[in-house]
Amino acid sequence: MPFLELTVPCTLTQQPRYERALDSVGALSVTLTDAHADEPDEQAIFEPGVGETPLWGEMRLTALFDGDTAGALLLLALGAADEGLDWSRVEMREVADEDWERAWLDQFQPMQFGARTFIVPWNHELPEAAQRDDAAVIRLDPGLAFGSGTHPTTALCLAWLDGLAAQGDLQDQTVLDFGCGSGILALAALKLGAAQAVGVDNDPQALIATHDNAQRNGLDTRMSVHLPQDEPVRQYPVVVANILASALDALADLLASRVAPGGRIALSGILHGQEGELLQRYAAWFDDLTATRQDDWMRIDGRRR
C-alpha cells in the first residue's frame, strides 16, 4: 500500500508545534532534515551529547500518512490542530510502499578490513577469503545497526584493531570500546584474539544492540556493556573511542585515565581539519601519536606514556 508523504518547512522554535500537530492528526512517522542540506556549508548532526537534542535553525519536517488519507481533509485537520502555524507551504506526494529492510539488506555486502577482519551480514554466505582458519568474522544484522563498518570512522578503527592483532598486541587483552554503538569494534577485537571487551555508551538502545550482536556472534560471555555512570573504573591495555571530536576533547582526561601505561588508544569520529587540536590535547599523555585519513575522516592513535 502506498503512503501519503507531507513535507513542510519550519524553524527550530516552530518544530515542536508542527510535530505535535502532525502527530495529533495521525502521522505514522515524522522525520527532520536540514533545510539547507544541499548547500556547501550545511551542518551535519551525527550524534547528540547526553541530554542534548541539537537541531538545525531551519529544517523540513516530513510525515507519512496512510495512502488513503485525503490530502485536502488532512490540511483542514492540521489547520484546526494549530491555527497559528503556516500550512500553506505544505508539499504532498504519494510514495510507494517497499520492503525497506530487504532493500537495505540487499545493499549491505561483506567487507574486509586489514588482513583478516570481515564484517558479513547474516543474509550473505561467507566470501571465500573469510573462510580461512585465521579469519576474524563478525556477523551483523544491519536492521538496527549503530555501526556496520560502512562509515570511514568505523573502517579506520577496524583496520587499526586488525593491525594490532597482526603485531600480537591484542592477544588475550581486555579492550574498552567507549561509545560502542553496535559493539562492532569490541566484537572485532574479541574475534581478533582479545580475551574480554567492555562496551560503554550513553544510549540504552546501543547497549541492547551491542548485547544482541555479541550474543548472535557467540561472544556474550566475554562482553559486558554499561552506561557511562555504571562503567567499571579501571585501566585497559587497549582503548578505542569512535565518537566525535568535541566529545574526544571533553573526555580527554577520562579516556587517558582508562589507558594503562604502555597501552594503546585509537580515537576516531574526527573530521579532517579537527585533528590538530586533538593531537596537541592527547600529547600530554601519549607518545607516537599518528593521524590517519580516510575520505574526510581521521583516526588518531598512540601509546600511553
- List the binding residues: 154, 179, 201, 242
Closest of 254, 248, 258, 263 to residue 298, by C-alpha: 248
Strands 117-121 and 136-140: parallel
Which residues are part of a known binding site for S-adenosyl-L-methionine? 154, 179, 201, 242
Q: What gap in Å lies between CA 183 and CA 197, rounded to an integer?
A: 10
Strands 297-304 and 286-294: antiparallel
Closest of 148, 142, 114, 112 to residue 130, by C-alpha: 112
What letter would DSSP give residue 42?
A: P
Contacts of residue 217, defined as CB under 8 A and 6 or more positions apart, other chains included, come to 138, 139, 187, 191
SS (H, E, C) 124-172: CCCCHHHHCCCCEEEEECHHHCCCCCCCHHHHHHHHHHHHHHHHCCCCC
Give how far the C-alpha of residue 161 lies from the chain's centroid of Cα atoms, to the nearest Å: 18
Note whether 265 and 302 are within 8 A (CB): yes
